[in-house]
Amino acid sequence: MADKGESLHDVILRLAENFGPAILFDAGLVAREMWPPKPDEVKGEERWRKLIRPVRAAAIGLARQGEIELVRRGEVIDPRKPFKGLYKMRLLERADLEIDGVNFDSDQDLI
């Protein structure tokens, strides 16, 4: 369950970091983290379903920033191009960079 004040971006990044780059997760999981289903909700009409489009927009934004990858049918999606259908997310695996014997991890600035 999302912490109070936690944004969609925060929830996506938290889940991605918890799962790591090897595990894919979907928009429904993110939406249910934000708005967990209530026992009295009618199946198919749960309130978390209203978040699917906002989750998609947030995921595309994070993919464009290089934080996560979007995957469809086993292939990484280019977040700059439109796509249709179901997709999953995962943490972008960051590679270390070595220049002249100095190791830079991808979170460090090179300048």
**pLDDT tens column, 38-60:** 999 998 899 999 999 999 999 99
**Residue 110 — pLDDT band, cuts 50, 70, 90?**
very low
Q: How far apart are CA 95 and CA 111, in angstroms?
A: 18
**What digits encode the pLDDT tens for the residues 49-104?**
999 999 999 999 999 999 999 999 999 999 999 999 999 999 998 665 455 556 55
